[in-house]
């Protein structure tokens, strides 16, 4: 059973913005890319560093790790450039009653 965590209202996370939510010990970065919401683990797969500290390119749907410059697609967590080679875990997002929700569904 998924333990959904309320992130914010849809009006608090505008297109081009991102924020961090917590599901237990898991930090989850939630993005608003062109009105659609996506969630990734807030941890670079190259080195244990917060992706949310990096630069979110809302035109390209990418997040660049501030530590070493690895880039990921915010829609699916796939790696776009080295030094990372592994994707970042993607988490489900739902919008319900004007609020954005996510969860760590790895069980």
Q: pLDDT tens digits, residue range 33-90? A: 999 999 999 999 999 999 999 999 999 999 999 999 999 999 999 999 999 999 999 9
Domain presence at residue 42: yes
CATH number of the domain at 16, please.
Answer: 2.102.10.10
Residue 1 confidence (pLDDT):
58
Domain presence at residue 85: yes
How many domains is the chain built from?
1
CB 12 within 8 A of CB 32: no
Domain that holds residue 57: 5-102
Domain presence at residue 107: no
């Amino acid at each position: 059973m998924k333990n959904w965590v309320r992130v914010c209202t849809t009006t608090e996370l505008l297109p081009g913005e991102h924020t961090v939510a917590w599901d237990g010990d898991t930090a989850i970065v939630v993005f608003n890319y062109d009105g659609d919401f996506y969630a990734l683990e807030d941890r670079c797969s190259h080195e244990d560093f917060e992706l949310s500290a990096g630069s979110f390119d809302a035109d390209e749907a990418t997040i660049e790790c501030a530590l070493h410059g690895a880039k990921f697609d915010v829609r699916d967590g796939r790696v776009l450039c080295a030094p990372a080679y592994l994707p970042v875990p993607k988490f489900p997002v739902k919008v319900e009653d004007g609020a954005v929700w996510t969860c760590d569904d790895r069980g």
